[in-house]
């Protein structure tokens, strides 16, 4: 889980073409044109299915259900926060710019936070 989250955060923080697709996707969510849908299916959906299976395994569920999907949504929202916070906001919030060390620490935090939530939801039934 931590490796997956770390990769997500790096991708969301990246300013290259890979990060550009993520920003383009968010723009598509706000103003749908249908142009990103096929690329999404090809590039993102296979990774998403692996992620769902990972969460399903942590929760010890027989299949991907609404609880698994809600956990996925929660983790993705935490990781996507970097897309909505500009570099100057990060400096203001953290007192330093986004760096590989900060990304690593953020990934660790999101992982621990998410695992606690996933386990709590799984125990609830």
- Give the C-alpha separation, 53 to 56, whole Å: 5
Angle, nearest 10°, between helix axes 66-84 and 45-59?
120
The tens place of each residue's pLDDT in the chain, 125 residues long, gives: 999 999 999 888 876 555 566 677 778 878 888 877 777 788 889 999 999 999 999 999 999 999 999 999 999 999 988 877 878 888 999 999 989 999 999 999 999 999 999 999 999 97
- Give the C-alpha separation, 98 to 96, whole Å: 7
Burial string for 91-100 (b: 16+ CB within 10 Å, else e) reads: eeeeeeebee
Supply 2's token pair: 């931590």
pLDDT score at 114: 98
- Give the C-alpha separation, 69 to 28, whole Å: 21
pLDDT score at 108: 97
pTM (2 d.p.)? 0.82
């Amino acid at each position: 889980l931590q490796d997956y989250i770390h990769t997500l955060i790096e991708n969301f923080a990246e300013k290259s073409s890979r990060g550009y697709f993520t920003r383009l996707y968010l723009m598509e969510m706000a103003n749908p044109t249908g142009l990103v849908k096929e690329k999404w299916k090809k590039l993102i959906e296979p990774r998403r299915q692996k992620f769902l299976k990972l969460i399903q395994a942590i929760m010890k569920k027989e299949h991907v259900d609404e609880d698994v999907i809600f956990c996925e949504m929660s983790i993705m929202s935490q990781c996507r926060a970097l897309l909505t916070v500009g570099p100057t906001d990060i400096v203001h919030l953290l007192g330093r710019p986004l760096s590989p060390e900060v990304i690593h620490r953020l990934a660790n935090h999101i992982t621990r936070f998410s695992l606690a939530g996933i386990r709590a939801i799984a125990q609830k039934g």
